[in-house]
Amino acid sequence: MEAEALRYEKLAEDLRGIIAAGDLQPGERLPSVRRLSRERRLSVSTVLQALHQLEDRGLVEARPQSGYFVRHPGVRRAQPDSRSPPDMPVAVDVSQRLMRVLQAGVAPGVAPLAAALPASGLLPLASLQRLYAGVVRRHPRLLAGGSHINMDEAALVRQLLLRSVGWAGALAASEFVITNSCTEALALCLRAVTSPGDTVAVESPAYYLMLQLLESLGLQALEIPTDPGRGLSIEALDLATRDGRVAACLLVANASNPLGSIMPDENKRRLARLATDRGLPVIEDDIYGDLHFGNERPWPIKAFDGSGQVMLCSSFSKCLSPALRIGFIAGGRYRSQIALQKTIGSGATNPVTQLVLAEYLASGACERHLRTLRRSYQRQVEAMRAAVARYFPAETRITEPQGGFVLWVELPPEIDASARFEQAIAAGVAYVPGELFSASGMYRNCLRLNCGNPHSPEIDDAVRRLGDLLSR
């Protein structure tokens, strides 16, 4: 027993040394428990003991389904608590403020910390553009097709299916609808399963475009408490859907926007069961699912859905190119209503772009690119966390995202992020004020930062200026 104790101490000390020497950088993953166990000939529990010791000392952190990571020094900030939104659904009205934020955020000379957009240097743009030439040469009749129905390219649907084989055959080719973006996918699903006046359950905080969509469709938002670590509260959703007043649930289970939480598999299973039992349509935005920081691609709720209640929506705007404008829906039992809405709302989808995407997904380059990209995003998120911890007011809380590339920041309660927005733009920094993530006006002391760009001195300086401004 003493020998065992020594062995875990020895392992912990070795790892400390490696971290202190800089051989393992902040944000990098430690070797897996299994590998350490095998290579050091230690039991799994001994390895875990060593890692727990490092964790207690703030040197490493555990991430669900992902393993252990070196912490940024000085980024031992508390995560924001999940808040209790009002019990009642609320009409949404944030549209014109949002347009101002989006437009100011892309103005020249403004640091791009608002919209969740990746730096173009991280994306395989040259490969995608080259594919266009090949696609139109090899398929000379592509533009002959009809304009309203039957124009989903089988090659693209096949690639999308192949990407989900790990989910135990969760998807079927016959349930797909190709769309002009993930945004359009969400809009079509909502139109397929709701009527004006209905109530839709959303996360709190929720992605602002989802709230906009609800407003535009005359729907009410019911905000469900959402934990920065575990995502939407199943208990609260359970309560809210007991009396049948909720027409649908709209959420981001994998790397939620803005919190970056990944819902544990057990909760996904419970949510899928709840949807089945109550006939509740679930609209799942999985656009960040490929951008997990852990080893394993997290499954979507759709993978646990046996009854077709879950509509899976996504696109490749966050990992290949935001300008392609191709998204998709695996619509389950709602497929035909969704297809009707697509026919009415925009008709078919351009077949050239569909095939360009299909060919890129079929290439070996795609998985290599995604591996590199995940590491870049993780590094950028860690660096942004460190910068915020350094420059923002002392009591600021910061999320610890498990994927994606946005950071949610809770400022001291007296600071109003909306009120400071125009000053920040004047100082050359954009962000998305927290109140846009709530239909009921919560989160005024919060903001979201885009970490889609490599953490350059310019970005660091922008965070510093923003921190100065918020500290005043």
Q: Which residues in this chain contact a second copy in the complex, by CB under 8 A? A: 95-96, 99, 102-103, 106, 115, 117, 120, 123, 125-126, 128-130, 132-133, 135-137, 140-151, 179-181, 183-184, 187, 191, 195-197, 209, 212-213, 216, 218, 317, 321-325, 336, 339-341, 343-353
Rounded to a whole number of angstroms, the minimum distance from the CB of residue 25 to a second copy is 28
Closer residue to a second copy, CB minimum distance, 135 or 312:
135
Q: Nearer to a second copy by C-beta: 12 or 324?
A: 324
Task: Answer whether 405's CB lies under 8 Å from 452's CB.
Answer: yes
Of residues 394, 403, 400, the one with CA closest to residue 470: 394
To a second copy, the closest distance from the beta carbon of 423 in angstroms equals: 22
Asked if 253 and 231 count as a contact pair (C-beta separation under 8 A), the reply is yes
Give the residue with the Cβ less far from a second copy, 345 or 393. Answer: 345
CB–CB of 402/64 below 8 Å?
Answer: yes
Please report, to the nearest 10 degrees, the dihedral formed by the alpha carbons of residues 449, 452, 454, 458 taken in order: -40
Minimum distance of a second copy from residue 178's CB (angstroms): 11
For residue 6, the minimal CB distance to a second copy (Å) is 55
Give the shortest CB-298-to-a second copy separation in angstroms: 23
Phi-psi region of 423 (alpha: psi -120 to 50; beta: other; left: phi over 0): alpha
Please report how close the Cβ of residue 177 comes to a second copy at its closest, in angstroms.
Answer: 13
Residue number with CB closer to a second copy (196 or 244): 196
Cα–Cα distance measured from residue 226 to residue 203, given in angstroms and rounded to the nearest whole number: 6
Neighbour tally for 235: CB within 10 Å:
12
C-beta contacts of 271-275 below 8 A and 24+ residues apart: 271/232, 271/234, 271/237, 271/301, 271/304, 272/301, 272/304, 272/305, 272/306, 272/309, 272/310, 273/304, 274/234, 274/237, 274/238, 274/241, 275/249, 275/305, 275/307, 275/309, 275/310
455 and 383 in contact (C-beta within 8 Å)? yes
Nearest-approach distance from CB 129 to a second copy, in angstroms = 4
Sheet holding 397-398, edge to edge: 397-398, 406-410, 446-450, 432-433
The residue among 103 and 307 lying less far from a second copy, judged by its C-beta, is 103
Q: How far is the CB of 89 from a second copy (least distance, A)?
A: 17
In the bound complex, what is the minimum distance in angstroms from residue 63's beta carbon to a second copy? 28
Instruction: Indicate the residue among 75 and 339 with the shorter CB distance to a second copy.
Output: 339
Distance CA 265, CA 65 (A): 10
Ordered DSSP codes for 289-338 = GGGBSSSSPPPPGGGG-SSS-EEEEEESTTTT-TTS--EEEE-GGGHHHH
Closer by beta carbon to a second copy, 125 or else 469? 125
Residue type, 279: G
State in angstroms the smallest separation of the CB of 78 from a second copy: 32
Q: Which is nearer to a second copy, 168 or 174 (CB)?
A: 174
| Rounded-to-integer distance, Cα 253 and Cα 288, Å | 9
Pick between residue 47 and residue 206 the one whose CB is nearest to a second copy: 206
Query: Shortest Cβ distance from residue 206 to a second copy (Å)?
Result: 14
- Render the burial of 26-59: b for 16+ CB within 10 Å, e for the rest: bbebbbebeebbeebebeeebbbbbbebbeeeeb
The CA distance from 131 to 360, in Å, is 8
Closest CB to a second copy among residues 5, 143 = 143
Instruction: Tell me the closest approach of the beta carbon of residue 430 to a second copy, in angstroms.
Output: 12
**Residue nearer to a second copy on the CB measure, 343 or 471:** 343
If the CB atoms of residues 104 and 469 are measured against a second copy, the closer one turns out to be 104
Answer whether 301's CB lies under 8 Å from 310's CB: yes
CA atoms lying within 13 Å on the CB side of residue 410: 18
